[in-house]
């Protein structure tokens, strides 16, 4: 205990005592999304995962373009269609000196299904593995009940724990720092929930050593406050830049902006599966107008995606009519973004029996995603122009997502970050017919069911040939998109601003990675 405490105190001495300008040794990051836990298996949430990847490692990782790279496993291969083999690096140790073993991989796979977190679970990431075989002190084989082409991709999200260190550890033990001992590039120094996390460089790290002796990860959820912290020098780099600040930062030579089209697609859900009466939706007769595909097409046709991108998002997004960025794996190559057609939308409404339109409430958050409240307001105005009288309710995310989950929102602005670099997880989680035992449709709030799409997703799940699997995923996406209950709007840009002396490679998965923040060449 004395040794551990002394190490933490020595690490803490490397860091600034309070909010301060960074120097050549220490970095302060201002981030917009809070972290709910330091337990790497508690909640499948981007902000949690990015902190977990400072302290822990997965068997694999991904680069800025969402491509798989070696992690704790230096290599991996298939052995037939129902087995994956991973070879561990030699000499990897946890922060306290405990060596990494293949038994730690087994322990991690045992622990994850037992976790009970508040939201998306890591269980789906390990579910394909039916049996884990320890071949030697460095080789582990994962037997699957059927072909599992995406298993390596899933495992890039799963952090490895130690049976010796973590067998009895609770989530509270991780949050207190007692169990936050990993193999990652940084060691935990302190954790103030909802405020900041302080880490120090792991000088025994198996991979490239981070440039920074210490990193302070400050959670500043208010956009204006986060930008103000950068301008004042309290932080060195911020994420999720408000579009209202973007041009100013781009043209201020004291700062540098890094950006890329992200894997995060923003979309509108239209609850056409609910039997009437539908909350917050009023139409003549006893029908749910959203059940009619002509009405859904009309609402989609009324949306001017280019106007959303140019005027609301101020250029910090890419208009889309599908779920993936152009050129990425599983993107549909020939699906153009349609121009808005209000006149055509009104004709479709009349054809569907709603020449005078109807009343609807469109919900969204006002504190979670870039310009979220402004986006729902703009879409509400576009729908009202075609005769669909729209009430907009933009509210704190915690309130909104609860109401959306209870299906109180006939129409809602939602999102999915395709962090695996392809569309299968979105299709499986958001659109597949719900089946809790199989892990299908975990985020399918509409209870949408499309048997043709389900069959294509099921075939893609077991197709080991990349080209054939991509074709199946494209066809599955098209089947869901043609139904129109999810209307893609745009792919949000991933944005960072930093002091001019720094560089950062913008990541498509939006992750903050202090190991790739570097001092610019002078």
Residue 21 pLDDT grade (very low, low, confident, very high; cuts 50, 70, 90): very low
**Region of poorest pLDDT, from 121-130, 137-146, 493-502:** 121-130
Residue 336 DSSP SS3: coil
- Identify the pLDDT of residue 271: 97
- Identify the pLDDT of residue 5: 29
In this prediction, residues 310-337 reach a mean pLDDT of 96
In this prediction, residues 147-166 reach a mean pLDDT of 97
Pick the CATH number of 37-174 from 2.160.10.10, 3.40.140.80, 3.40.50.2300, 3.90.76.10: 3.90.76.10
| Radius of gyration of the chain from its Cα atoms, rounded to whole angstroms | 24
Domain with CATH 3.10.105.10 in the chain: 263-491
CA-CA distances (angstroms) from residue 508 to 391, 425, 495, 511?
34, 16, 10, 8
pLDDT at 284 over 80: no
Note the CATH number of domain 263-491: 3.10.105.10
Structure tokens at 147: 């072909």
Pick the CATH number of 1-32+185-254+500-522 from 3.40.50.2300, 1.20.120.80, 3.40.190.10, 3.40.50.300: 3.40.190.10
Residues 6+ apart with CB under 8 A from 154: 124, 125, 126, 128, 420
- Identify the pLDDT of residue 368: 84
- Identify the pLDDT of residue 119: 62
Residue 438 pLDDT grade (very low, low, confident, very high; cuts 50, 70, 90): confident
Residue 470 DSSP SS3: helix
pLDDT tens-digit series, residues 310-322: 999 999 999 999 9
42 half-sphere exposure, CB direction, 13 A CA radius: 20
What is the number of residues in the chain? 522
In this prediction, residues 452-480 reach a mean pLDDT of 98
- pLDDT, averaged across the chain: 93
- Identify the pLDDT of residue 285: 72
In this prediction, residues 246-259 reach a mean pLDDT of 96
Structure tokens at 361: 């409430």
Q: How far apart are CA 447 and CA 333, in angstroms?
A: 28
Among residues 440, 295, 431, 423, which one has the least CA distance to residue 353?
A: 295
Share of the chain above pLDDT 90, in %: 85
Residues 6+ apart with CB under 8 A from 378: 307, 308, 311, 312
Domain with CATH 3.40.190.10 in the chain: 1-32+185-254+500-522
Q: What angle do CA 128, 419, 75 make, to 5 degrees?
A: 60
Helix-then-strand count for the chain, H and E: 17, 20
In this prediction, residues 452-479 reach a mean pLDDT of 98
Domain with CATH 3.90.76.10 in the chain: 37-174
Torsion of CA 69, 71, 73, 78, to 10 degrees: -30
């Amino acid at each position: 205990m004395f040794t551990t405490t002394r190490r933490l105190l020595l690490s803490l001495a490397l860091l600034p005592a309070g909010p301060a300008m960074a120097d050549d040794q220490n970095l302060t990051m201002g981030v917009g999304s809070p972290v709910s836990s330091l337990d790497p298996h508690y909640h499948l949430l981007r902000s949690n995962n990015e902190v977990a990847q400072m302290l822990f490692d997965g068997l694999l990782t991904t680069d800025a373009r969402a491509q798989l790279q070696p992690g704790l496993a230096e290599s991996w291969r298939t052995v037939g269609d129902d087995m994956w083999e991973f070879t561990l690096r030699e000499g990897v140790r946890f922060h306290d000196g405990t060596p990494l073993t293949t038994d730690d991989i087994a322990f991690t796979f045992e622990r994850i299904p037992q976790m009970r977190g508040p939201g998306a679970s890591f269980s789906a990431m390990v579910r394909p593995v039916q049996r884990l075989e320890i071949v030697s002190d460095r080789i582990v084989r994962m037997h699957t009940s059927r072909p599992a082409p995406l298993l390596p991709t899933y495992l890039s999200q799963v952090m490895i724990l130690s049976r010796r260190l973590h067998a009895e550890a609770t989530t509270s033990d991780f949050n207190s720092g007692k169990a936050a001992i990993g193999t990652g590039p940084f060691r935990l120094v302190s954790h103030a929930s909802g405020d900041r996390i302080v880490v120090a460089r792991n000088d025994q790290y198996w991979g490239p050593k981070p440039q920074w002796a210490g990193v302070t990860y400050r959670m500043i959820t208010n956009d204006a406050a986060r930008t103000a912290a950068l301008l004042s020098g309290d932080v060195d780099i911020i994420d999720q830049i408000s579009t209202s600040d973007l041009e100013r930062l781009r043209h201020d030579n004291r700062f540098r902006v890094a950006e890329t089209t992200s894997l995060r697609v923003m979309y509108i859900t239209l609850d056409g599966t609910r039997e009437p009466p539908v909350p917050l939706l009023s139409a003549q007769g006893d029908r749910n107008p959203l059940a009619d595909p002509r009405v859904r097409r009309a609402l989609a046709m009324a949306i001017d995606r280019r106007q959303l991108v140019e005027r609301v998002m101020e250029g910090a997004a890419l208009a889309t009519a599908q779920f993936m960025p152009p050129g990425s794996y599983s993107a549909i190559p020939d699906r153009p973004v349609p121009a808005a057609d209000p006149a055509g939308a009104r004709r479709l409404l009349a054809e569907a029996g709603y020449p005078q339109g109807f009343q609807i409430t469109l919900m969204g958050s006002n504190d979670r995603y870039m310009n979220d409240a402004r986006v729902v307001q703009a879409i509400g105005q576009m729908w009202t122009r075609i005769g669909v009288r729209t009430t907009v309710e933009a509210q704190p995310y915690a309130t909104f997502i609860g109401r959306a989950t209870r299906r109180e929102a006939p129409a809602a602005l939602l999102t999915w970050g395709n962090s695996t670099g392809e569309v299968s997880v979105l299709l499986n989680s958001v659109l597949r017919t719900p089946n809790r035992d199989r892990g299908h449709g975990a985020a399918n709030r509409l209870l949408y069911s499309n048997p043709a799409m389900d069959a294509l997703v099921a075939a893609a799940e077991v197709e080991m040939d990349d080209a054939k699997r991509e074709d199946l995923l494209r066809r599955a996406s098209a089947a869901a998109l043609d139904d129109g209950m999810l209307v893609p709007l745009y792919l949000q840009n991933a944005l960072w601003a930093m002091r001019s002396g720094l560089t950062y490679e913008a990541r498509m998965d939006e992750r903050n990675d202090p190991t790739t923040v570097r001092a610019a060449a002078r």
